[in-house]
Structure 1
Amino acid sequence: MNEGPILFCGDPHGGVRGSLQYIIEAARDTQASAVILLGDIEPARPLHEELGPILDRVWWIPGNHDSDSDDVWRRVATPEMAARNLHGRVVTLPDSGLRIAGLGGVFRESVWHPSPASARGGVPAFRTRAAHAKATPRQDRWEGGHHRKHCGSIYPDEVDHLAELRADVLVTHEAPGYHPNGFDILDVLAQSLGVKVAVHGHQHDRLDSSTKWEAQGFKSFGVGLRGITAISVDGVDTVVRPGELDEAREDRGLAS
C-alpha cells in the first residue's frame, strides 16, 4: 500500500513543449499515492502516453482549454483515460480510501452562468448535455452528438448529481466563492458533499483563503500555473513545485 502524498497539479497547459515530465518526476520524488490534474492539460501527446510511467496513479478533470480543438480533446480524453476522469462523480482512491469528487470545465453563458448578474440572471440555457445536443444544429455536432467545445462546460444536472453524494475532497477547475473570480455555488456544492478540502486550478494562482475557511466549512486551495501541491484531507498543504505566476500574483490578496 502506497501511503505517499496526493499531488494536485495546476493547469499544466502542456508544460515546456507540451511535456508533462515534471509531473512524473514530482510523483516519483515524493512517492505520491495519487496525482490529480486540475484541468487545462493540453498534452503534446495522448495523455496516457505522456504520463505512462505513473498512469496507475493519475486522475484528471477537464479544463476549458482542453476542448479548444478536436486534436487537443482527443489527446486528453483518450479511451485509456476515460476511467480516470473524475468529472461528475466520486471516486474512492485505492491506496488512501479518500473519496474524491470532481467537477471539470467552466461556467459558460451559452450553457449556464450561475451568477444573478449574468445575462440570463443565473438561469441555465440548458440543464443537461442531452438537451444541448438536441438543440445543436447537425453540422455543429461532434462525436457523441454534442458540440466539442462544451466538453469543457458545466451543466446544472452535473452539479445536482454531485450534490447528492458524499466525498472528502472536491476538485474543480473553476474556483469556489473565496476567490475574486470564484463561484458561491461551488461552496454550496462542497458543503453538500461534506468535504473537508476543495482544490481548484484555472486562476493560475494560489491565494491564501485561510481567513474564509471557518465560514466556508471547508479548507480551499488554488494551485498555480504548472504548480504542484501536496494536500492532505486535513488541509495540510506542501508546495512541491511553485506555480510559475505565484510570486507575481501573491500581492493580489483577499479581503478578510
Structure 2
Amino acid sequence: MRLLFAGDPHAQFRHIIDSAHQADAVVLLGDMEPTRPLHEELAPLLERKVPVWFIHGNHDADSDELWMRVWGSELAEQNIHGRVIELADGTRLAGLGGVFREAVWYPDPAAARGGEPAFRSREAHAKATPRQDRWGGGPHRRHWGTIYPSEVDHLADLRADILVTHEAGGYHPNGFSILDTLAQQLGVMVTVHGHHHDALNSSARWQAQGFKSFGVGLRGLSMLDTTDWTWSIVRPGELDQARAGRSM
C-alpha cells in the first residue's frame, strides 16, 4: 500500500485532498483543528472512498468546539489512538495521539516527579477531577489530548508494523525515548510523528534502534510504500527548510 502521512494540518486540508489520489490510504498525525466536523473537512476523500485514519494532537482538545469536531465527528471511529488496525494489505498500524504533560505524566528523569506519573489512567484522573470539570466521562477536556501510562502499556502488549504518534521518539531533540521502547515492543519497522513541525529523521540511529523514524512537517505530506518500505516526501512542510539544521 501507499500510505500518505499528513503532518499537522492546523485547519487546512485542501493540500491533503489534492494529493490523496496518489495514495491507497491517508493517515493524519494530529493537530487537525478542523473548522467544521472532520468528516465534512475530508468529505471529498470519503466520497472517493479513500480510507482515512488519524490520531489526535494536543491542539485538537483546545476548545469544546474543536473536541466536538474531532471526537464528535462521523470519522471518530477512525481515530487509531491506543489501538492497532489492519490495512487492506495486512499491514498493522498502531496509533498514539496526544502529548506528555507534567500534570499527568512526563517520562523524563529530570521532570518534577522524576518521570513518575501522577495518574496511570484517564479513569483514575477523572475520579480525581471535580465533577464540574470533567468532560465526556473523563478528566478536563484538555486532557483528551494527553498521554496516559495505561495507553502506552496497552499498546506495548500488541504487535504492529508501523507506529504513528503525535510526539516524537528519542532521536528528536524534543522527543521521548519511551516511544522508542514502545516501537521495539510493538516490533515495528517504521515510526512516523508530527507535532514538531519539522521533517527530521533518525537515519543515524536506524540500525541501533531496529526501526526507522520519520517526522512530517507542518502541513507536509510524505508517502510510505509498504511494498518495499520506501519513504518519500510528497510536499515539504512549511518550516522544513528553516528547521533542517537542528541537531539530533
Aligned to 1:221: 214
Q: Deviations over 1:99-157 (max 9, x none)?
A: 00000000000010111110011110000110000000112112224211011000000
Q: Deviations over 1:20-62 (max 9, x none)?
A: 121111102x1x1110000000011100011012134110001
Would you say the 8 A contact 1:219–1:235 is kept in 2? no
Structure 2 length normalisation: TM-score? Answer: 0.95
Aligned to 2:5: 8
In the alignment of these two chains, the number of paired residues is: 244
Matches within 5 A, 1:49-88: 49-55=40-46, 56=49, 57-88=51-82
Aligned to 1:184: 177
Identity of aligned residues (%): 66
Shift of 1:79: 4.3
Q: Which amino acid aligns with 2:196?
A: Q
Structure 1 length normalisation: TM-score? Answer: 0.92
Matches within 5 A, 1:86-235: 86-93=80-87, 95-233=88-226, 234-235=228-229
Q: Which amino acid aligns with 2:163?
A: L
Would you say the 8 A contact 2:39–2:73 is kept in 1? no
Once residues 72 and 19 of structure 2 are traced to their aligned partners in structure 1, the CA distance between those partners, rounded to angstroms, is 23
Structure 2 stretches lacking a partner, 5+ long: none
Q: Stretches of 4+ moved more than 4 A in 1? A: none
Q: Which amino acid aligns with 2:35?
A: A
Would you say the 8 A contact 2:58–2:146 is kept in 1? yes
Once residues 178 and 111 of structure 2 are traced to their aligned partners in structure 1, the CA distance between those partners, rounded to angstroms, is 14
Structure 1 stretches lacking a partner, 5+ long: none
The 1:79/1:251 distance shift into structure 2, 3 A limit, reads closer
